[in-house]
Structure 1
Amino acid sequence: MASDLLSIAKSGSKAARIALDITAHNIANASTDGYIRRSAKTEEIAAPGPLGSINNVSLSGVRVGGIIRNADQFRLSEVRRTTADVSRADAELSGLEKIETAVEGSRIYDGIVDFESALQHLSADPVNPSLRAAAIEAARAAASNFNVADASLKAVGDGVRFEASEGVKNANTLMEEIARVNVKMTRAPEGSSDQVALLDRRDHLLKELSGEVGVFTSVDANNMVEVRIGSSTGPVLVSQGTSATMSMQQGADGTISFEVDGAAVTVGSGALAGHEQALDEVATMQTELDDLAMSLADAVNTVQTNGSALDGTPGTAMFAGTGAGDLALAFENGALIATAPAGAEPNSRDPGNLGAMSAALETAGVAAGADKILFDISATVKGRSITRDTLATIADNATVSLQAQAGVDLDAEAVNLVRYQQAFQASGRVMQVASDLFDTIIGIR
């Protein structure tokens, strides 16, 4: 009987010590990113045996059957899903804000309005050389502003493409590491501290990967995770110990697309999706600016060629270029501005052609078009900002839900320390009782 007590007490003290070690490990890693709270899985040791048995069951104590990670797959997958969503929104919003800054900073609307104002001032005294010079300078500034807007947008595009390229590299690195962890998982004993640490590492890597591209995961019987893009039918990124290779392709208009092992894929969430959407907006904005620049040039040039310059010669085109990037003045001599109608005498004070030019600009909606571009990008940024904030709240809630289950509560761990310490002390007391029984038995004569 005494030997049975010693065996049971020994198993109890060992289980309590392991539980204390796990609790201490939890406390030490309370601030470790990606750490999932552990607990000991204890099992009763009860085996059939005739000696010292009760109803043919030998009472043999307790053992630690393994280490439990206190997190379920649903909450982990929700964190990954919401992380992918908010990462996409963040990346897109960041790109849109840069577009807004580029367009607003170029002052295209102000340049157009200033040019129209200079034409109106010139109409009051068409032969005034100072007013003609001012009109030429306003036209040059308007063209220059378009050039600045185009260059700024190209810089935005370059920056976003660089971020996307780095994101692809990071995704490939993460996929390779997940594949390596998969291989290590096959060698780790079930319920061991090694296995639990590998699971933590893998879940952390999966969350990081979700920040780049939305993923769907499934785990096989060997605890190896399969990772796909987006859904259960998406392209495979990681399978057992093998990882795919992701790449980025750039279109002629600066937009991007993605491939996995050479096959085109659609990325619906994650930062890469946000970068792709932002570059779509950059391309759209560049097209709108090109169209607006050509509207300005066409409206002015058409009227110019139908009027007369200061010396009475037929007017020539004021602007040259094919888009916002290369829009420029075709001449710098203010005397060449066709202020008078066709066939007018030299030094004519008839501002009829200037009136036609102002009307043409209004009909073409150049200033209104610039204003609309500014309004649309500002409204888009505001809307995407609201969406991002909403998704961030959802992601925060998913993280809080996971932390409630998987995070380390220092108060709870302090209680566990006392509980397991008392269990250890109680097992020691059982050992003392067993020792007393031995002494009693030995003392019987």
Structure 2
Amino acid sequence: MASDLFSIGLSGLRASRAALDLTAQNISNAGTEGYIRRSLRVSEVGSAGTWLAPSDLTLSGVRIDGVTRNADLFRQAEVRRTGSDSARAAEELSGYENIEAALDQSGLFPAMTAFEAALQRLESNPVDPALRAGALEDARTVARSFNLASGSLDTLGEGLRFAATAGTQDVNTYAAELARVNLQLTRASAGSSDQTMLLDRRDALLQQIATQVGISTSYGPDQSVTVRIGGSTGPVLVTAGTTQSFAMTTAADGTISFTLAGSAVALSSGKLAGQAQGLIGVRDRKTELDSIADNLVTAANTAQANGVALDGSAGQPLFSGSGAGGITLALASGAGLATAPAGAGAGSRDPANLAALRNALGSAQVTDRIDGLMFGSASAAAARRTTADALDSIAGAARIALAEQAGVSLDDEAANLVRFQQAFQASGRVIQVASDLFDTLLAIR
């Protein structure tokens, strides 16, 4: 009996000590991102009775079966899915907010309205040098505002492409590391501390990949993971110890697309999908901006050609270049503004052609189109802000649910410290009782 008590007590000491170590590890990693709480998996040690009493069960202590991660694969998948959607919405919102800021900070709309106001003032006295100079400077400001807006959109596009390039590289880096973790998992013992550490690393890499691109996962018996981009039927990014190359291509219009192993792949979530949508927004706004600038050049220069300058010479183009990035002021002085109709003499006060210029700008709807462009950009950003806030709330709820299930509760761990410490002391007491019994038996004469 003493020998049995020794074995039972010793097994209890080992189990209690291992449980205390795990509890201490949980407490020390309570604030570690991605850490999953561990618990000790134990089972009762029992054996069948002797041939004299075959139905009896001999209990012989406790056996450590391994370490369990309190992870919920469904909740983890939900965190990745909702987080990927939220990341896409946040990146898309950032892109559209920057578009709105680029157009607003260029001062294009105020510059255009100031130019039209200057032309209206000039109509009251077409030969006034100050009014002519003021109108010409306002025209120069309009051209520069177009240049500034176009340049800001180009800079924004470059930033988005740079971020997407870095994100693409990150996907390949994380995928390669995940493939190595898969190989290590095939060699790790089930329930061992090494396996639990590898599983934490595996899940962290999956979360990092999901932040960049939407993924789906499936797991093998050895806990290795197969990763597909998109849904469960999407192309394979990682399987076992191998990966496929993920790449980004840039089109002539500045937009981006992605390939996996050389084949086109469509992204619906993740930062890269949001950056791609942001670049589409930049392209569309820049196309509209170029069209407005070209309409302004055509309307102003056509009106100029139909009139005469202050010295009676034929009107010359007011603007040169094309597109918002290329438009520049062509006239050297305010005297070149063709305010008088064709055939009028030098110093004519007839503002007929100036009125025609104003009407041409009105017919081209330059100011209205600029206003519509600004309003459309603001509306697009506002709509995406609502979507981003909603998706962020959903992702936050998923993270909270996972943390409640798999995270570390310091209150629970503190209670476990006391419980396992008492179990350790009780097991020690069992060994002490066995020792006392053995000494008593030896003392019998």
Q: Does 1:268 align with 2:246?
A: no
CA distance, structure 1, for counterparts of residue 254 and residue 114 of structure 2: 32
Question: What is residue 28 of structure 1 aligned with on the other side?
Answer: 28
Q: Does 1:124 align with 2:124?
A: yes
Deviations 1:57-77 (A, max 9, x none): 221111111111111100111
1:48 Cα offset (Å): 2.2
SS of residue paired to 1:65: strand
- Contact persistence 2:45–2:63 (CA under 8 A): yes
CA distance, structure 1, for counterparts of residue 352 and residue 36 of structure 2: 79
1:181 Cα offset (Å): 0.3
Question: What is residue 241 of structure 1 aligned with on the other side?
Answer: 241
Deviations 1:414-443 (A, max 9, x none): 100111111111112222222232233323
Question: What is residue 363 of structure 1 aligned with on the other side?
Answer: 363
Map 1:283-432; keep pairs closer than 5 Å: 283-432=283-432
CA distance, structure 2, for counterparts of residue 4 and residue 55 of structure 1: 19
- Contact persistence 1:292–1:366 (CA under 8 A): yes
Map 1:173-212; keep pairs closer than 5 Å: 173-212=173-212
- Contact persistence 1:51–1:58 (CA under 8 A): no
SS of residue paired to 1:247: strand
Q: Does 1:252 align with 2:256?
A: no
- Contact persistence 1:321–1:327 (CA under 8 A): yes
CA distance, structure 2, for counterparts of residue 245 and residue 225 of structure 1: 17
1:209 Cα offset (Å): 1.0
CA distance, structure 2, for counterparts of residue 284 and residue 220 of structure 1: 45
Question: What is residue 42 of structure 2 aligned with on the other side?
Answer: 42
User: After the TM superposition, which of the residue ranges 426-435 and 287-296 deviates more from structure 2?
Assistant: 426-435
Corresponding residue pairs, total: 445
Deviations 1:211-254 (A, max 9, x none): 11111110012221000111111111101001121111111111
Tell me the amino acid that sits aligned with residue 187 of structure 1.
Answer: R
CA distance, structure 1, for counterparts of residue 121 and residue 103 of structure 2: 27
- Counting aligned pairs with the same residue, the percent is 52
SS of residue paired to 1:120: helix
Tell me the amino acid that sits aligned with residue 61 of structure 2.
Answer: G
1:185 Cα offset (Å): 0.2
- Contact persistence 1:52–1:58 (CA under 8 A): no
1:49 Cα offset (Å): 4.2
CA distance, structure 1, for counterparts of residue 33 and residue 351 of structure 2: 73
User: After the TM superposition, which of the residue ranges 312-321 and 5-14 deviates more from structure 2?
Assistant: 312-321
Q: Structure 2 unaligned segments of length 5 or more: list them.
A: none
CA distance, structure 2, for counterparts of residue 284 and residue 120 of structure 1: 32
TM-score, structure 2 normalization: 0.97
CA distance, structure 1, for counterparts of residue 438 and residue 333 of structure 2: 118
Deviations 1:317-353 (A, max 9, x none): 2111120010012222322211112222222111111
Deviations 1:375-429 (A, max 9, x none): 1111222221221121111111111101101111111101001111111111122
- Contact persistence 1:50–1:58 (CA under 8 A): no
Deviations 1:9-56 (A, max 9, x none): 111121111111110111111111111000011111112241897724
Where does structure 1 differ by over 3 angstroms across 4 or more consecutive aligned residues?
A: 51-54
Tell me the amino acid that sits aligned with residue 6 of structure 1.
Answer: F
CA distance, structure 1, for counterparts of residue 439 and residue 318 of structure 2: 116
User: After the TM superposition, which of the residue ranges 299-308 and 238-247 deviates more from structure 2?
Assistant: 299-308
Pairwise CA RMSD of aligned residues? 1.5
SS of residue paired to 2:326: coil
Question: What is residue 94 of structure 2 aligned with on the other side?
Answer: 94
Deviations 1:276-311 (A, max 9, x none): 001111111110110110111112122221222222
User: After the TM superposition, which of the residue ranges 372-381 and 180-189 deviates more from structure 2?
Assistant: 372-381
User: After the TM superposition, which of the residue ranges 167-176 and 327-336 deviates more from structure 2?
Assistant: 327-336
CA distance, structure 1, for counterparts of residue 54 and residue 279 of structure 2: 76
Tell me the amino acid that sits aligned with residue 160 of structure 1.
Answer: L
SS of residue paired to 1:222: coil
Tell me the amino acid that sits aligned with residue 327 of structure 1.
Answer: I
CA distance, structure 2, for counterparts of residue 44 and residue 377 of structure 1: 67
SS of residue paired to 1:186: helix
SS of residue paired to 1:31: coil
SS of residue paired to 1:315: coil
SS of residue paired to 1:67: strand
